[in-house]
Amino acid sequence: MILSEIGAYLAANGIGTVGTDIFLGILPDVPDSCCGLFEAGGMAPYRAFRSAPGQPVAERPRLQVICRDNEFDYSDARTKAGSINALLEGLGDVTLSGCRYLWIGAVAPPSLMGRDDSGRVQIVQNFDVVKELS
């Protein structure tokens, strides 16, 4: 699954720890400083000529990353988002947790999503992904 595969990759590269400050499919109330990974739609899969119709050969999901920090730490949230961008943007032909990722590309640079109900800054970025079926 894309969230666990990317979460493990980010953790292995020093972004944080899954379940502690990297969360999959949720952005909990605590801690203030954390990142959430979310599935965010995507595009139709790639298909190839096969013996049966409609058999995809590669998936094209979209990944959304939200980095949050307390209300006075805009630069910390933005720096964390930039570090994640540096790890994921242009990443290709790599196997993560047993699944081959052909390409990951940023849709746009990290940007301010806004502030949550507690005033904490949230920086968001979306990535288009091409990966083998998993």
- The total of structural domains in the chain comes to 1
Q: How far apart are the first and last CA of the chain?
A: 7
3-state secondary structure of 28: coil
Contact call for residues 23 and 10 (beta carbons, < 8 A): no
Per-residue pLDDT of the chain (134 residues; tens, 9 = 90+): 999 999 999 999 999 999 999 999 999 999 999 999 999 988 888 877 666 666 788 899 999 999 999 988 899 999 999 999 999 999 999 999 999 999 999 999 999 999 999 999 999 999 999 999 88
Contact call for residues 70 and 120 (beta carbons, < 8 A): yes
- pLDDT value at position 52? 66
Domain extent, residue 6, equals: 2-132
- What angle in degrees, to the nearest 10, is found between the helix axes of 74-88 and 2-12? 110
- pLDDT value at position 2? 95
CATH number, domain of 74, equals 3.30.2000.10
CB atoms within 10 A of CB 124: 19
